[in-house]
Amino acid sequence: MSFEDNLAELEARITKACEKADRQTPPELVAVSKRQPDDRIEAALSAGVRVFGENRVQEAQERWAHRRLQYPDLKLRLIGPLQSKKSEDAVALFDTIDVLDREKLCKTLADAIQKLGRSPELLVQVNTGEEEQKSGVIPSELDKFLTGTCPGYDLSPVGLMCIPPADEPPGPHFALLAKMAKRYDLPQVSMGMSGDFETAILFGATHIRVGSALFGDRDS
Ligand SMILES: *Cc1c(COP(=O)(O)O)cnc(C)c1O
């Protein structure tokens, strides 16, 4: 199937999920372009897609830095773990960083924002499944992180992001994330991928991050 066919099918599924959820406003589609070949990236741009998600800073620089000039309305989101030493590069390239999850990163991002005079939107990643190997603030520490740590560095996150455990139904994780975002009056709720975006829409995702369902399988 062509990219345009994939996009049309995905949009139809999003519309249907919104109807089922009785939602008037569809979520924003973040096209996850990591490890995708150039011809698919170009097809996405030709189809009018402008919001892309990437999980590695260097790979994103290589894919997008030169395209920024050609597509000034491009919006790039960092959705993969960020090493603090890459903070400056991330602030320079991304419009939104979905993965703020620790004090050290607050510090290095705040320094980079100050230095570069550029302020990407920030989302806090929440480890809703409290998985050892996964990044993200655990739910019981979110209050302290949002009301103490972030303001301490003059950072005001605009939303929450999560990746539910692979081996559990995602619904309860999405419900928890949406509830926490509401409690702190945060407008962005980034959740749902190719396998579970319809469930995420049902639970109030404002941003869904879809890779393989849109582009096809990626290089491993
Ligand atoms: C890769 C990735 C996605 C997209 O995954 P698909 O299953 O291909 O849709 C979404 N979110 C994050 C954080 C990712 O790393």
pLDDT of residue 220: 74
**Does the pLDDT value for residue 36 go beyond 80?**
yes
Which CATH number belongs to the domain containing residue 80 in this structure? Answer: 3.20.20.10
**Residues 20-41, mean pLDDT to the nearest whole number:** 97
Smallest CA separation from ligand 1 atom 11, residue? 209
On whether residue 143 sits in a domain, the answer given is yes
Mean pLDDT rounded to a whole number for the chain: 97
CB of 163 within 6 A of ligand 1: the answer is yes
Write the single-letter amino acid at 81: P
Calculate mean pLDDT across residues 151-163: 98
Within a domain: residue 220?
no
**Cα distances (angstroms) measured from residue 32 to each of 86, 96, 116, 130, 163:** 20, 14, 26, 24, 14
pLDDT band for position 1 (cuts 50, 70, 90): confident
53: left (phi over 0), alpha (psi -120 to 50) or beta: beta
Is the pLDDT confidence value at 162 over 80? yes
Q: Is position 180 within any domain? A: yes
Ligand 1 atom with the shortest distance to the CA of 214:
9
Taking residues 175-183, report their average pLDDT. Answer: 98
**pTM strictly above 0.75:** yes
Q: What is the pLDDT of residues 75-126, one digit of tens each?
A: 999 999 999 999 999 999 999 999 999 999 999 999 999 999 999 999 999 9
Looking from the CA of residue 161, the nearest atom of ligand 1 is 13
Structural domain total, the chain = 1
**Which residue in 65, 8, 56, 4 sits closest to 33, CA to CA?**
56
For the chain, give the number of residues: 220
Q: Domain range holding 211?
A: 3-215
Rounded average pLDDT over 48-74:
97
